[in-house]
Amino acid sequence: MQQKNAIESINSIFNKYRQLVKQSGENYNIFKVLNVESNEVRLHSAFLADLLNPLGSHGFDSLFLRTFITELNIEDFDYQSVNVKAEQYIGDVSNISGGRIDIDISDNNGYHIIIENKIYARDQENQLIRYFNYGENRCRNFKLFYLTLDGDMPDEKISCSDFMNGIKLEEGVNYFLLSYRNDIKHWLEVCREKATNKPLLREGISHYINLIKHMTNQSLNTNMNEEVIKELLKPDSVRNLANLKECVLQVQIELQTQFWKTLINRLKSEGYDVSEKSISEKQINEYYTSFKKNKYYGIEIRFAFNEIVSFRFGIRIDQNIYGGFTLREGVEKKNEINLKTEFKKYADIVKRIDAKYENNDYWLGWKVMQPRLNFRNINEETCKNLSNLEETISNMVQNITDEIKFFKEIMTEN
């Protein structure tokens, strides 16, 4: 009975603050309204690079950069001669060189701060190795950072290891982790404090901080958190914390299981040929319990084929549910072939369907699926969508159906 009262009290606190947030308009965020919240290049790298640039539109010269570099414990950087570039081209991609660095900060002495910025995109083949080699071969001194929402490790097999060339990068030695949740948010809060006399800049930074909180599942309301914590610190609640923690874990597992089962059943009812080979109960469990954070599993719909390839729509999980169009080639159904020149026409079709689609070896085009579901950091948007799972799945399947139909129509025209 006591536990029920605690849960009811917490629900009451949440409902009270939802009403206050609705009345205050605190949930309004310009970046979410413009639907660019997950765009690494157009929003995140561009926004950070401008603040870090002494010549940026903020008008604070090198103040924000100095604060950032102090946070990173970097010494001997010359602030009088700074060059900040977003999407810095470093050559055509080969096995262990080339690509585009998200943010490259350098001084005239050849010191480079190299930042690989990952929001939802997958790691590319040997990506950190290529940027590390750029630092080793073309910079006098450098430090390489891997920036993610929560400070996650990169996929070491894909991005950090090349056994053919005897290369294996080590975290804390060859590259360093950064997080939006802590490192970037803290730095931005300092920047906002220094920008109190520039209201437009201050509010712009505030919108971006609130976006980070939304993307990393941090409540915008400190008072609400304090009330919930106070409720959970009551003796009867503390007595049940271990059980609550285990229950929350099992609820997360069950919610994701229900999502996949409902999605598969709905797709099959629409007549789609659904492959479930890359998903299992074990993988869903390990998504939450494994140290290496199991991911990239999911399902595929085969909707067309010819003598060379089969055309598929894949749905996968990383932090968010993401998916899109992919090809599998030959009897072995090879998947790492989507960047081949002969398939570019299909990638162009996908881009026509939605400009948000991104192309790589594994995908003609992938994007975060709508309605958005983040199973790694279950935020309020995800909870809302999961609380009405049938409608969420219905909307998702409708989007998939419309895009497959559009793809087949354009492919027939060509």
Q: What is the DSSP string of 208-259?
A: HHHHHHHHTT--S-HHHHHHHHHHHTSHHHHHTHHHHHHHHHHHHHHHHHHH
Query: Would you place residue 179 in the very low, low, confident or very high pLDDT band (cuts 50, 70, 90)?
Result: very high
DSSP string of 141-178? EEEEEEEESS-PPP-IIIIIEEGGGTEE--BTTTBEEE
Neighbour tally for 367: CB within 10 Å: 18
Same structural domain, 311 and 164: no
* Cβ–Cβ under 8 Å, residues 309 and 335: no
Supply the CATH number for residue 109's domain.
Answer: 3.40.1350
Same structural domain, 254 and 267: yes
* Cβ–Cβ under 8 Å, residues 330 and 388: no
Neighbour tally for 199: CB within 10 Å: 9
Torsion sign (Cα): 91, 351, 216, 68: positive
Helix %, strand %, coil % of the chain (to 5)? 50, 20, 30
Same structural domain, 148 and 43: yes
Query: Would you place residue 5 in the very low, low, confident or very high pLDDT band (cuts 50, 70, 90)?
Result: low
Give the DSSP letter of residue 353.
H
Query: Would you place residue 4 in the very low, low, confident or very high pLDDT band (cuts 50, 70, 90)?
Result: low
Specify which residues 310 forms β-bridges with.
Answer: 305, 328
pLDDT at 186: 96
Mean pLDDT of 226-240: 82
Q: Is 35 inside a domain boundary?
A: yes
Query: Would you place residue 220 in the very low, low, confident or very high pLDDT band (cuts 50, 70, 90)?
Result: low
Same structural domain, 155 and 202: yes
Q: What is the pLDDT of residues 57-84, one digit of tens each?
A: 999 999 999 999 998 888 889 988 899 9
Q: Is 240 inside a domain boundary?
A: no
Q: Which token pair is 235?
A: 């003796």
Burial letters 330-358, b for 16+ CB under 10 A, else e: eeeeebebbeeeebeebbebbeebeebbb
Q: Is 7 inside a domain boundary?
A: yes
Q: What is the pLDDT of residues 28-60, one digit of tens each?
A: 888 878 878 878 888 999 999 999 999 999 999
Measured CA to CA, the distance from residue 212 to residue 232 in angstroms comes to: 26
Same structural domain, 230 and 343: no
Asked if the model's pLDDT at residue 16 lies above 60, the reply is: yes
Most confidently modeled of 7-21, 243-257, 260-274, 319-333? 260-274
Asked if the model's pLDDT at residue 342 lies above 90, the reply is: yes
Q: Which token pair is 274?
A: 């659904």
Nearest to 298 by CA among 312, 310, 40, 339: 312
Same structural domain, 268 and 152: no
pLDDT at 197: 93
Q: What is the pLDDT of residues 188-213, one digit of tens each?
A: 999 999 999 999 999 999 999 999 98
Same structural domain, 211 and 353: no
Query: Would you place residue 2 in the very low, low, confident or very high pLDDT band (cuts 50, 70, 90)?
Result: very low
Same structural domain, 265 and 229: no
User: Which residue is it, tokens 């009262």?
Assistant: 5
pLDDT at 75: 86
pLDDT at 1: 39
Asked if the model's pLDDT at residue 347 lies above 70, the reply is: yes
What is the model's pTM? 0.71
Q: Which residue has the higher pLDDT, 26 or 238?
A: 238
Total structural domains within the chain: 3
Asked if the model's pLDDT at residue 332 lies above 90, the reply is: no
- The sheet carrying 273-275 orders its strands as 273-275, 298-305, 309-317, 321-329, 363-368, 358-360
Work out the percent of the chain whose per-residue pLDDT is above 70: 97
Domain of 53 in residue numbering reads as 30-215
Nearest to 44 by CA among 120, 113, 100, 132: 120
Measured CA to CA, the distance from residue 375 to residue 296 in angstroms comes to: 12
Q: Is 168 inside a domain boundary?
A: yes
Same structural domain, 274 and 182: no
Same structural domain, 226 and 205: no
Query: Would you place residue 125 in the very low, low, confident or very high pLDDT band (cuts 50, 70, 90)?
Result: confident
